[in-house]
Amino acid sequence: MRFLVLQHVPHEGPGRYAQFAKEAGIKLETVELKSGYEIPTPAQYKDFDAAIVMGGPQGVNDSLKDYPSRDDEVRFLQQFDKPTLCVCLGSQLLAHSKDARVYRGERKECGFYVVRLTPQGRRGIFRGFEDQIDVLHWHGDVFNVPEGAVPLALSKYDQSVQAYSIDGKVAMLFHLEMTPRGIDGLFEADRDWFKKRQDFLEYHGNTEAAVKEHAAELDGQMERNARRVFDNFVSMVEHQE
């Protein structure tokens, strides 16, 4: 199998999913969405069995000057009719591509939060999971759920939808693919922002030290969860019509 990966920044790549794909003999073809990028055209879609759209610091409401690949990505999500896993920014892009509102949340969430899985989620991409899991959030924007989408995971904090599926595509606002080293990279990339907003780091106890300590404690669990989701996604791909 061959999966297309759309990657926005170096520090938010496929992470653990790359390791699992290699072990399964799945080739990942990564498009780095910077100057000179080329997203496959519809005529080339036949070359791929699935796609993964990663996170990034961009937002769908940014100007094209700040986010030049946005419209091309939206068109891709509207036209690519094979299984797609959309992570963080990817989940917002998918919502936007379905005419759902994406907007700045009340706070930037950076840290571990609990999500509760819906029955549909536990029968699908989260098959084999317990009722709730700790997941890593790293986002400022949130979305309204697209019309016709199926909620897969809800925030334990406010019951907002954190994962959904629509038209064979799965969207997760949170990260399962991140390793502790990857989380270190997130902090480094957002260092200037954190220096300006020290008040945020006290929100729900999510100081840098606390998040990194939690990441180390949950490392084994995060790897198992990421592997289970990746395996379930591969199963979706194998059973596509």
- Structural domains in the chain, CATH included, are 2-238 (3.40.50.880)
Cα 142 from Cα 210, distance rounded (Å): 24
pLDDT at 198: 60
For 133, the token pair is 């899991």
**How many C-beta atoms surround the C-beta of residue 71 within 10 A?**
11
pLDDT at 199: 56
Average pLDDT score over residue span 82-91:
98
pLDDT at 200: 56
Average pLDDT score over residue span 73-101:
97
Average pLDDT score over residue span 209-236:
95
pLDDT at 23 over 80: yes
Please report which confidence band the pLDDT of residue 201 belongs to, taking 50, 70 and 90 as the band edges.
Answer: low
Closest to 67 (Cα-Cα) out of 109, 103, 42, 37: 37
pLDDT at 203 over 70: no
